[in-house]
Amino acid sequence: MTTVTTAEDRARAQEVASIINSQIHRGVLMSLGASGLIATIFEGMSALMFDARILPFNKNGERAARPAKMKVFVALGGDDTYTVVAVNKGVDHARKTTVYADDLNAVLLALDFDGAEPFNPRYTH
């Protein structure tokens, strides 16, 4: 994550975060227990960041019994596709690139999964 420093960067990040937020269904954010939505820069892209409660993997590679608070970044790239990343304690829990707007909600819903993969395969393709 990069701190937004110039007024121009802040304005662009805020504009893009607002667009991203408008494309995410409220029910999706509610199902993730999303809170603290803010505009930021992530890996050089304007992004929306929020806290979510997602089942993390434990040291044995299995899902934990209780959800953990993770940072979720939804960043808009220059090719008009999204990168969705969930970070747990500084480590990528899940990462999906080249996500089209039509698939964004399904990818976010797929983060909250208790299977052996980071994304629920029923929601993503």
Tokens of 12: 């662009």
Instruction: Name the pLDDT band for 62 (thresholds 50, 70, 90).
Output: confident
Distance, CA of 103 to CA of 77 (rounded, Å): 15
Distance, CA of 120 to CA of 22 (rounded, Å): 23
Distance, CA of 81 to CA of 83 (rounded, Å): 7
Cβ-based neighbours of 107, under 8 Å, separated by 6 or more: 82, 84, 96, 99, 119, 123, 124
Q: Which of 125, 39, 119 is nearest to 85 (CA)?
A: 119
Residue 4 reports pLDDT greater than 60: no
Res 114: pLDDT: 57
The strand ranges marked E within 2-123 are: 35-42, 45-54, 68-76, 82-88, 91-99
Cα 22 to chain center, whole Å?
A: 14
Res 1: pLDDT: 53
Res 106: pLDDT: 92
Instruction: Name the pLDDT band for 59 (thresholds 50, 70, 90).
Output: low
The arithmetic mean of pLDDT across residues 69-89, rounded, is 94
The arithmetic mean of pLDDT across residues 39-55, rounded, is 93
Res 54: pLDDT: 82
Instruction: Name the pLDDT band for 80 (thresholds 50, 70, 90).
Output: very high
Integer Rg of the chain from CA: 14
Picking from 3-17, 29-43, 54-68, which range would have the lowest pLDDT averaged per residue? 54-68
